[in-house]
Structure 1
Amino acid sequence: MMLGERYSPVLSKAREVLLGNVKVFNGYRVVVPHLKAYPVPYCWDTAFHVLGLVHVDPALAKENIESLLLLMRDDGLIPNAPLSAGNQDLRSQPPIIHFAVEYYLRRTGDRESVRRWFPRLKQYYRWWSRNGNLHGRAKRTLSPFTGAREGDPEKEFKLAYWAVCSTGMDNHPTYDVAEGRTVKVGDYYFIEVLDPFLTASLAASARSMSIVAEELGLGDEKSFFESEHEELSNVINELFWDSEDGFYYPLTWSLQPVRVKSVQAFTMLYAEAADKGQAAKLVSHLTSEKEFWGQHGVPTVAFDDPKYMSEEPDWLYSFDPCYWRGPIWPPTTALVVIGLTNYSYRDLAISVARKWLDLMASSLNFAEYYYADGKPGITNRFNFGWTAAVTVFLGHFLAE
């Protein structure tokens, strides 16, 4: 059976779901994560939506980028979501939008729009670079953090959870070590974790911005972002790399490793921060059936890690106590495929993409996330935006 025949029904359904999640927001047509549960644009969701929309409706992809950038505050923050509930408008999410814009440019050639967006993209990059490291404990590494409104009666209880939400991985066991504590620095509240995923996301943004700058003929900007990528990559490898395990781990602010084997380590491939030897060691973990090589995809925590599918601690309160503590998620699947492709592990990238598309073809419900056995997450949120978008994105990846 030809690839197109095998996946044609699921890709058709994915396009239908993606376009079915369109709403008008601030005068723009935007894809929202979920029409009922999350009916407004979310920061990193929008970036993944763009990866799929480029192949479905490039004009709609453009509207989604523009609408997100127009949410930017004067200081450069693009909010988690334009909602005061949970102080979502006072924090952000991983800066994946820079890669999404690079992808949009490569696919559409729309230099005019990207040139117009470039200053805002740079301002958002600088917001993360400037604010994410306010603790000053370890060079350029980022920590999860949030803003808060004075006088909020629930603030003290929720601050640490809100900070974790800035990573997009609302209750990932990497952050259990925070024990619900935050440290106030300036206007923000941090948990005391040096975060490899956020730092890798910023490094990937620097790389994307250097590529975009070169395409636009912005030589000085290209040089600046190349230098940023090199510096961040050096910091990542100096601090997070464990040569004995051949893996990247988070650290506490006192530089103690947080030994949770997490999908976050593979985002170093997405960021192109690892050298070839480090990449090979990461791949050995990824392809181990005892660790990450599952029947239906890559879990967010290794199967053999004690934290795999463990319930969240009391200070976290996600809809599913195992939400990001093992299940397979669309965004991390996409980042793994991108990362493997960056290092010429195309056959492995194809295998991961096929696992995902086979899972979608077997369910056709486009759930928010899935367990290792292929069952949808217990939140029962179906027809999810980024699930459909990643399916389209990976379908086109396989077809190329």
Structure 2
Amino acid sequence: MRADAAAVLDQNWTGRSTVPSRSLYPHQWSWDSAFIAIGLRHVAADRARTELESLLQAQWADGRIPHIAFSPDVPRDAYFPGPHFWQAHAASGTETSGIVQPPIHALAAWLTYQADPADVGFLERVYPGLAAWHGYLRDRRTLGPGGLVAIVHPWESGMDNSPAWDGPLARVTPAPAGSFVRRDTDHAAVTDRPTDLDYGRYVGLAATYRDHGYDDRATPHAFAVEDPCFNALLICSEHALADIAARIGRDPAPHRQYAEELTGALVERLFVDGLFRSRDVVSGEIIGAATVAGLVPLAVPGLPVADELLETALGPRFRLGETRLVPSYDLTADDFGPGRYWRGPSWFNTAWLIHRGLAQLGQLGYAEALAADLVGLAEATGFAEYVDPFTGAAHGARSFSWTAALALDVSAEGAAS
């Protein structure tokens, strides 16, 4: 499995970064690169460092790390929305998108460093950009009154068509039919992907943000949501940034303080009936949908409600240990769909995050079982993008980079234990 996983990462390597998939995702994606580095560190630590440093080359002057860095070697119409739609550039001149993805990058950088602790220079190079990235989120994306950061597009969650976004998305005027051509359905089953109506809303929302110069204060956000996964990963990365700061002689205290403040706000604002749920910033209301994003805070160090959250993971909505990996949506919901992108299937990256949380909690039995399932399914499915939570059947792209990388990571951890 390790040799096959490494081969997937080799075939998807471009010389400076790793594409998630040669077919469906032919550019560099933000949180994909972070997950990829976490696995690459075990087989090519130099490439893992390059993966993260190349992503930081796409960082904007305001500190944001965009969710796509476009490759000039790929045809401009190979992916939609492409560079012609976003009309955005990094400080380096790289063409990018204008939205972001979950901030797991500092954690990835710290784990990458641990694979080769002699290279302190890597931490010194990435720390300023990572600190600026977190600063952008803190200063520009704290849109609600409680201190949490907000996403302003469903794609920023990484869980593109989660049922949690249905209510807020209903406010969004879709782009006119015929004004764009989807590319995702060229490479994936139409029944698995978001509907044309939802896709039109995604495009309309992105166009509004673009037309306001990607200014978070000037844009009239029809969609603004405090997402538990996004905030949980920011907390985890603030802890990692504190460790990085301490290692290179910087003050870790501000990072630890912000992580503590965010943890308190996360629990106070989003923990309802044993699960973290999203909050609609526009209406101020909690969103009822029970999704895997609400379990990701298990990875937050010192989470005060971890025991209650674990009970929910083991309960009928997610059935941790009984299903394959962790379903992305409430198994008891009427609109659950085992193959519908983020509306039911299990994903390898969220399973890895929950595995990390279980291990931190000392829940080694559950953690080891989830790790074994992740590795076994990755190999059996040809490193699929996501799987049916009951049968383990493969869905989406194959030879998917973060699946290969995270299988490498948990297998390396198992070999070391």
Q: TM-score, normalised by structure 1?
A: 0.82
Is 1:261 the counterpart of 2:252 in the alignment?
no
User: Offset of 1:139 from its aligned partner?
Assistant: 2.4
The letter of the residue matching 2:229 is F
> Is the Cα–Cα contact under 8 Å of residues 53 and 60 in structure 1 kept in the other structure?
yes
**Is 2:238–2:255's contact at 8 Å kept on the other side of the alignment?**
yes
Work out the CA distance in 1 between the residues paired with 2:314 and 2:164.
21
Which residue is 2:245 aligned to? Answer: 213
2:300 is the alignment partner of 1:236: no
Paired residue secondary structure (1:141):
coil
CA 1:281/1:112 → structure 2, altered by over 3 Å: closer, same or farther?
Answer: same
Aligned to 1:296: 324
1:307, CA displacement in angstroms?
4.0
Tell me the distance in 1 between the aligned counterparts of 2:12 and 2:374.
21
The aligned residue for residue 181 of structure 1 is: 171
Alpha-carbon offset, residue 284 of structure 1: 1.3
Q: Would you say 1:143 and 2:150 are equivalent positions?
A: yes
The answer for the alignment partner of 2:386 in structure 1 is 369
Alignment correspondent of 2:236: 204
Give 1:216 shift.
2.1
Q: Which of 128, 137, 145 is equivalent to 2:137?
A: 128
* CA distances 1:345-377 after superposition (whole Å, capped 9, x unpaired): 2221111111111222333x1111111121111
1:389 Cα deviation (Å)? 0.6
| Secondary structure class of the residue paired with 1:292 | coil
What is the rounded CA distance, in whole Å, between the counterparts of 2:19 and 2:318 in structure 1? 33
Secondary structure at the counterpart of residue 140 of structure 1: coil
Aligned to 2:5: 14
- Corresponding residue number in structure 1 for 2:57: 70
User: What pairs up with 1:91-106 in 2 under 5 angstroms?
Assistant: 91-106=99-114
Report what 2:46 is aligned to: 59
Structure 2 letter corresponding to 1:125: H
Root-mean-square deviation over aligned CA pairs? 1.9
Structure 1 segments unaligned to the other structure (5+ residues): 1-9, 146-162, 311-319
Alpha carbons 2:149, 2:226 under 8 Å: kept: yes
1:308 Cα deviation (Å)?
Answer: 2.1
Paired-residue identity, %: 25
The match for 1:7 is: none
Cα distance between partner residues in 2 of 1:307 and 1:195: 21
Structure 1 residue aligned with 2:225 = 193
Q: Does 1:115 find its partner at 2:124?
A: yes
Contact 1:143 1:191 in 2 (8 A): no
Q: Tell me: CA distance 1:174–1:86, structure 2 relative to 1, closer, same or farther (3 Å).
A: farther
Deviation at 1:71, TM superposition (A): 0.9
Match of residue 148 from structure 1: none
Mapped to 2, the partners of 1:306 and 1:250 lie a distance apart of 19
* Inter-CA distance 305–122: structure 2 relative to 1 (3 Å threshold): same
3-state secondary structure, aligned to 1:116: helix
1:289 is displaced (CA, Å) by: 5.2
Q: Work out the CA distance in 1 between the residues paired with 2:285 and 2:301.
A: 24
Aligned residue type for 2:230: L
What residue is the counterpart of 1:386 in the other structure? 402
Q: Secondary structure at the match of 1:55?
A: coil
Maintained 8 Å contact 2:348/2:386: yes
Tell me what 1:270 maps to: 299
Residues in 2 aligned to 1:85 and 1:286: alpha-carbon distance in whole angstroms: 42
User: Structure 1 residue 38 and structure 2 residue 68: aligned?
Assistant: no
5+ residue gaps in structure 2?
Answer: 71-82, 87-95, 173-204, 210-215
2:202 equivalent in structure 1 = none
Kept in 1: contact 2:154–2:161 (CA 8 A) = yes
Give the alignment's TM-score, normalised by structure 2: 0.79
Which segment drifts farther, 341-350 or 226-235? 341-350
> 2:38 & 2:334 partners in 1: Cα distance?
34
CA contact under 8 A between 2:238 and 2:259: conserved in structure 1?
yes
For 2:106 and 2:335, how far apart are their aligned partners in 1?
A: 32
**What is the rounded CA distance, in whole Å, between the counterparts of 1:291 and 1:339 in structure 2?**
16
Distance in 2 (alpha carbons) for counterparts of 1:396 and 1:217: 30
Letter in 1 for 2:388: Y
Contact 2:58 2:65 survives alignment (8 Å):
yes
Q: For the Cα contact (< 8 Å) 1:51–1:100, is it kept in 2?
A: yes
Aligned length: 349
CA separation of 1:214 and 1:306: change in aligned 2, threshold 3 A: farther
